[in-house]
Structure 1
Amino acid sequence: MPTITSTPSELSVSFSVYEKVAGLVRDISVPWAAVAAVSVERDGMRAARGIRAPGLGVPGLRKVGTWRRREGGRMRRTVVSVRRGQPALRIELRGARWDEFLLGHEGARTVADTLASRGVTTESSPPTAIREHDVRFTSEGATLAGTVCRPDSPARAAVLLLPGSGPLDREGSHPRLQVDVSRQLAHALAARGVASLRYDKRGVGASPGDWRAAGVSDLVADARAARALLASQPGVDPARVVVLGHSEGALLAAAVAAGDTHLAGVVLLAGAARPGEEVLVQQAERLRDGLPAVLRAVMRLLRIDLVDRVRGNHRRLKATTADVARVNGARVNARWVREYMAHDPVEDIRRITAPVLAITGEKDLQVSSDDLDVVRSTAPAEVTVHRIPDLSHTLRRQPGTPSLRLYREEVRRPVDPEVVGIVTEWVVRHTAA
């Protein structure tokens, strides 16, 4: 299946090695000005017409390559990659080398809605208008600010969006890294008729306080208060609420869902399923192994082991009792670290009675995709897992050797359309009447 990504200036289509060899195609980028319209075909195989020139066609199963057909006295060229029974995105072009793309994609409708938000005309369904308004709520004495996002029509369901660790705002972004996961998911969900709530964590954005002083237990309490607020919003059916978390947010989502028999579903994106201390050590090991060879050699000569340093910091933080402590001269959220190291999300996952969707990328350096197997074997209800190739912790694709240094480049692109498509389709399906 081709990968569709975008930047502020262009739309890009990346093909797998098989597609490039079988269809004699290569990765393509076109400026947004060249994108004329988008439509969704229920079956891409049926929609691909003409003769291949060049390309590979397996009758009734697969078409990949360039297809040509005469229309209105001229020859139209279509770049095709479709398979039987799969929906496809038809992207019509103007002033480009090709006349259109016909690309099989499980999240075709969601991608079409995303393109519609950029002003591209969609023929399959008109874009849903999105309304947002700010809200404030309290949680154990703390005041939190957030945004309710909803479609212009009555919402069919609602999703609570929980971001990752650190000083993340309601959009799911860090001051130094605009990950923007929560905002993009909120808009994609609204395009499918689903409302959502996202909020600034304590001491971030419009929420007062000090984020370093908040422990895991505080964040769980905040998430529960937000879940109650969302369920009480006008037009929201409390029986159709889903809790979705990314990274640390997945830990919070599992804690909120544990023992809650009224949730319609739980979505865990890049969520760990092992004790926090083990996760932190594993992250240090991956960071050490990903350092440049020269730097690793210097550290060996100086007898510096990054993992040993991390374990030493853990011992020092365990010995503290303050909410905030100094480690190597820097102020650290000590209480959060102590509570996180002691927390085992498996204890919560085994108490989730709602259906679970879990997604982790194979290139995730902060969470092992092997944890998906733990979620699948632990959660007692229906579990759907997706281990996505080349997907990093930012929920973007990262071809080649994974590296934390590439995060800044990755977040210039939108969240992976396949992830967005899987999430929105799953939420719509599990909140149906």
Structure 2
Amino acid sequence: MTTRWSYILATFVLSFQVNAQAIRQQEPKAPYSYEVEEVVFQNTIDGISLAGTLTYPQKGSDFPAVILISGSGPQDRNSELMNHKPFLVIADHLTKMGIAVLRVDDRGAGESEGDYNKSAMSHFVKDTKSALDFLKTYKKIQSNQIGLIGHSLGGNIAPIVASEREDIAFIVLLAGSGIRGDQLMLLQKAMIERKMGVPEVSVAQAQTNMKGAYDIILNSDGKKEELQKQLNEYFTTKFAGMIPEQQVKTIAEQMSWPWFVDFIKFDPAPVLQKVDCPVLAINGSNDVQVPAEENLQAIEKALIAGGNEDIQTQVLEKLNHLFQESETGLPNEYATIQQTFSPVALEIITDWIEERTK
């Protein structure tokens, strides 16, 4: 899960300053050494248009290609966060290496239509399939060499699409989760609090409190209004006098969003067992939002159980959830780091894709 959403759930009260004027050294500037097209295509099933940017080399044709899938929360095509634009950096690097890249505004963000927080994970799957169908119409793109790169929640969407479509050449999971959503969120919360020096007794109490909320979601029948009411009553009882009433209502509302409910209930293992295309899964050792060891082990186990024989998992030292070189990995460090995306991670991704698209 990305910071703009999950960190609110993980801590409720932690905040940090962002320097809006910061210049990120990795951000590419025009003129570019490759072709850049602003594109619009349709998700005909849901009746919305999606907007994005397609980049590809100036010379040649039959390019392999990737579609970038963002993490949680409505994000623009650059996945911009705290003045970092990681998808722009990734697209720039891959395109210079001969790989076409399509990055898209999430529904309800940028120039795309729709409402993100009224959408389910299944809607994001349909958006990605629509992007795939659109990309396959380009003559310069090699239609049987299109892969998906998903970050965080996008690392769940990519396997779902790959399990349902036979025309996915490969998938790359950047901090994708391998354990059920409620378990991931509890693990995330505990790791963040321990790194912040929260006493163990408080960590344990917080786990109990949040597990109760997630259990309500796990047992819900999909009716948002009823779920929101139950969560509001639960948090009011648990945090009476500790958290303002309006904040309790906001938390209950956000935890009732359809996509978040889906995520809490989502177990990646059965989906991963159906993925038979090559898979690269990488996480940072400092990732406190999708901890590397637990999730990579679960991803690999599920893929092997399904018979997938082209799997590479790797922990990258010192990288955080955004794949920045970091000290603590805590989200309050993200804005202070100049690096947007680790060059080491970029090279690993590029080399792996090139090996599978020769």
SS at 2:314 equivalent = strand
Q: Which amino acid aligns with 1:169?
A: D
SS at 2:141 equivalent = coil
- Superposition TM-score, scaled by structure 1 size: 0.65
| CA deviation string 1:222-242 (max 9, x = no partner) | 111111111222311111111
Over the matched positions of the two proteins, sequence identity in percent amounts to: 24
Q: CA RMSD in A?
A: 2.7
**1:150 Cα shift?**
1.2
Instruction: Answer yes or no: is the 8 Å Cα contact 1:270–1:361 preserved in 2.
Output: yes
Instruction: Answer yes or no: is the 8 Å Cα contact 2:53–2:102 preserved in 1.
Output: yes
**1:8 Cα shift?**
5.0
Structure 1 residues 9 and 132, CA gap change in structure 2 (3 angstroms): closer
* Paired residues for 1:125-164 under 5 Å: 129-139=33-43, 140-155=46-61, 156-164=63-71
**Aligned residue for 1:378?**
302
Counterpart of 1:418 (choices 335, 338, 344) is: 344
- Mean Cα deviation higher: 255-264 or 355-364: 255-264
Q: Which has the higher contact order (CA 8 A, sep 6+)?
A: 2
Structure 1 residues 398 and 205, CA gap change in structure 2 (3 angstroms): same
In structure 2, C-alpha distance between the alignment counterparts of 1:268 and 1:358, rounded to whole Å? 5
**Aligned residue for 1:311?**
211
| CA deviation string 1:154-200 (max 9, x = no partner) | 342110111111121111124xx344221111111110111111111
1:246 counterpart = 2:151: yes
Instruction: Answer yes or no: is the 8 Å Cα contact 2:66–2:99 preserved in 1.
Output: yes
Structure 1 residues 9 and 367, CA gap change in structure 2 (3 angstroms): closer
* Paired residues for 1:191-206 under 5 Å: 191-206=96-111
| CA deviation string 1:358-395 (max 9, x = no partner) | 11111110112122223233321311122111110010
- Superposition TM-score, scaled by structure 2 size: 0.78
**Aligned residue for 2:15?**
none
In structure 1, C-alpha distance between the alignment counterparts of 2:118 and 2:332, rounded to whole Å? 28
**Aligned residue for 2:224?**
322
In structure 1, C-alpha distance between the alignment counterparts of 2:68 and 2:322, rounded to whole Å? 15
SS at 1:135 equivalent = strand
In structure 1, C-alpha distance between the alignment counterparts of 2:319 and 2:74, rounded to whole Å? 23
**1:284 Cα shift?**
1.7
1:274 counterpart = 2:147: no
In structure 1, C-alpha distance between the alignment counterparts of 2:212 and 2:48, rounded to whole Å? 33
Structure 1 residues 337 and 9, CA gap change in structure 2 (3 angstroms): closer
**1:128 Cα shift?**
7.7
In structure 2, C-alpha distance between the alignment counterparts of 1:352 and 1:185, rounded to whole Å? 24
Instruction: Answer yes or no: is the 8 Å Cα contact 1:128–1:192 preserved in 2.
Output: no
SS at 1:145 equivalent = strand
Instruction: Answer yes or no: is the 8 Å Cα contact 2:24–2:84 preserved in 1.
Output: no
Instruction: Answer yes or no: is the 8 Å Cα contact 2:321–2:329 preserved in 1.
Output: no
Structure with the bigger percentage of strand: 1
1:339 counterpart = 2:262: yes
In structure 2, C-alpha distance between the alignment counterparts of 1:201 and 1:309, rounded to whole Å? 32
**1:143 Cα shift?**
2.0
The answer for unaligned runs of 5 or more in structure 2 is 1-21, 233-247
Structure 1 residues 147 and 425, CA gap change in structure 2 (3 angstroms): same
**1:325 Cα shift?**
4.4
Structure 1 residues 246 and 167, CA gap change in structure 2 (3 angstroms): same
SS at 1:329 equivalent = helix
Instruction: Answer yes or no: is the 8 Å Cα contact 1:128–1:152 preserved in 2.
Output: no
Structure 1 residues 317 and 263, CA gap change in structure 2 (3 angstroms): closer
| CA deviation string 1:44-82 (max 9, x = no partner) | xxxxxxxxxxxxxxxxxxxxxxxxxxxxxxxxxxxxxxx
1:219 counterpart = 2:124: yes
1:408 counterpart = 2:335: yes
Aligned pair count reads 306
SS at 1:193 equivalent = coil
Structure 1 residues 118 and 218, CA gap change in structure 2 (3 angstroms): closer
Q: Which amino acid aligns with 1:131?
A: E
**Aligned residue for 1:264?**
169
In structure 2, C-alpha distance between the alignment counterparts of 1:339 and 1:8, rounded to whole Å? 37
Instruction: Answer yes or no: is the 8 Å Cα contact 1:128–1:190 preserved in 2.
Output: no
Q: Which amino acid aligns with 1:321?
A: K
Larger Rg computed on CA atoms: 1
**Aligned residue for 1:361?**
284
The answer for unaligned runs of 5 or more in structure 1 is 1-6, 11-113, 120-126
**Aligned residue for 2:241?**
none
Q: Which amino acid aligns with 1:382?
A: D
1:349 counterpart = 2:272: yes
Instruction: Answer yes or no: is the 8 Å Cα contact 1:153–1:193 preserved in 2.
Output: no
Structure 1 residues 168 and 292, CA gap change in structure 2 (3 angstroms): same
Q: Which runs of 4+ in 1 moved over 3 A?
A: 7-10, 315-320, 323-327
